Amino acid sequence: MPGIFAFAETRDGEIRKVSQEVVTAARKLADALGSEVHAVVLGGSGIGGSAAELGRVGADKVFVGEAEAFGTYSAEGYTTVIVNFIQQHGCDAALFPATSMGKDLAPRVAARLGVGYASDCTALDVQGGDIVATRPEYAGKLNAQVACTGKPAVLSLRPNVFLPSDNAKAGEVQALDVSINTADFGAIVREIKAGAAEKLDVGEAPIIVSGGRGLGSPENFKLLDDLAAAFGGKCAVGASRAVVDAGWRPHAEQVGQTGKTVSPTLYFAVGISGAVQHLAGMRTSRYIVAINKDPEAPIFKVADYGIVGDLNEILPRMTEEVRKMMA
């Protein structure tokens, strides 16, 4: 039976949480279309150890391709294996996470298959037998509904939007033949050097405290570091472009149109005005808390909770309360 293909991304020998989100979304489509979920995991040796867990979130079958060459991402290698898999097994839709890897891989797969591609989807539905994807356009100013009439529909899903939910299926693990010639790879990743490895990445954190020009100085970001620390390892510090351009914070922390797109459970915008380019990167956060001394700041239009006042007074008190709450 042609299923819904779900790409399960791995990193450092582990299946990433975002893969559970992709499988959960695939399950919902499969249920609507009366089909199965086929998850594919690619990685170095040993990656199959935890593959069966994808059954908990809805995979009927998990295909594991283990090869030394797949210990790190290979655009050519992964694309070839996935395209071969889809051509062999067939599928109505192929879902990928809209992570750096997924955003590189999914369009390659679509191009090789000669089908269309919808990126960064925030909702999926089935209408009249067609898969309909919702995706933000024009920096999040509108949500377009894209009907995918060709097959398979190749889609990437915005992380942290399709939350994993338990929906136990067989999770039957099968080995996938990945015996391809690495000499054909245009490029091979030999080593990945993670920057600031001890810090949680804004793209992955369930809580983000972002600071803007209103912080007044790079030193004042200590107030945000303290608040992030009070959340106990679940929180990353983000930044607006204004402070990144000023050299106060690294570009890796920038949220927005020319930075990262994030969808955490909780997003604090502190001393950030809420320019459309910033909103483009964070407006799908589950809960948005804005702290700004200007009651007319546009950020309050998207905030679930707004605090009008001086961040220098508010942040220490908030940090104290979070510490008590987390104790």
Residue ranges in contact with ligand FAD by CB under 6 A: 212-214, 240-243, 254-259, 271-273, 275, 277-278, 281, 291-294, 297, 310-312
- In whole angstroms, give the CA distance from residue 22 to residue 111: 21
What is the closest distance, in whole angstroms, from the C-beta atom of residue 312 to ligand FAD in the complex? 6
What is the closest distance, in whole angstroms, from the C-beta atom of residue 304 to ligand FAD in the complex? 18
Closer residue to ligand FAD (CB): 119 or 273: 273
Closer residue to ligand FAD (CB): 116 or 298: 298
- In whole angstroms, give the CA distance from residue 133 to residue 149: 11
Q: Name beta bridge partners: 40.
A: 7, 63
Query: What are the phi and psi torsion angles at 109 (to 5°)?
Result: -65, -45
CA-based torsion, 73, 107, 58, 18: positive or negative:
positive
What is the closest distance, in whole angstroms, from the C-beta atom of residue 250 to ligand FAD in the complex? 14
Closer residue to ligand FAD (CB): 20 or 254: 254
Closer residue to ligand FAD (CB): 149 or 258: 258
DSSP state of 248: S
Alpha-helical runs (H) found in 45-181: 75-89, 100-113
Closer residue to ligand FAD (CB): 177 or 321: 321
What is the closest distance, in whole angstroms, from the C-beta atom of residue 141 to ligand FAD in the complex? 14
Q: List the structure tokens of 244.
A: 């990144």
Query: What are the phi and psi torsion angles at 2 (to 5°)?
Result: -65, 135
Closer residue to ligand FAD (CB): 193 or 317: 317
Count of alpha carbons within 13 angstroms of residue 155, beta-carbon side: 34
Query: What are the phi and psi torsion angles at 82 (to 5°)?
Result: -70, -40
What is the closest distance, in whole angstroms, from the C-beta atom of residue 281 to ligand FAD in the complex? 6
Closer residue to ligand FAD (CB): 152 or 256: 256
Contacts of residue 105, defined as CB under 8 A and 6 or more positions apart, other chains included, come to: 7, 73, 75, 78, 79, 82, 96
Q: Sheet of 235-239: strands edge to edge?
A: 235-239, 207-211, 266-270, 287-292, 305-308
What is the closest distance, in whole angstroms, from the C-beta atom of residue 308 to ligand FAD in the complex? 8
What is the closest distance, in whole angstroms, from the C-beta atom of residue 217 to ligand FAD in the complex? 11
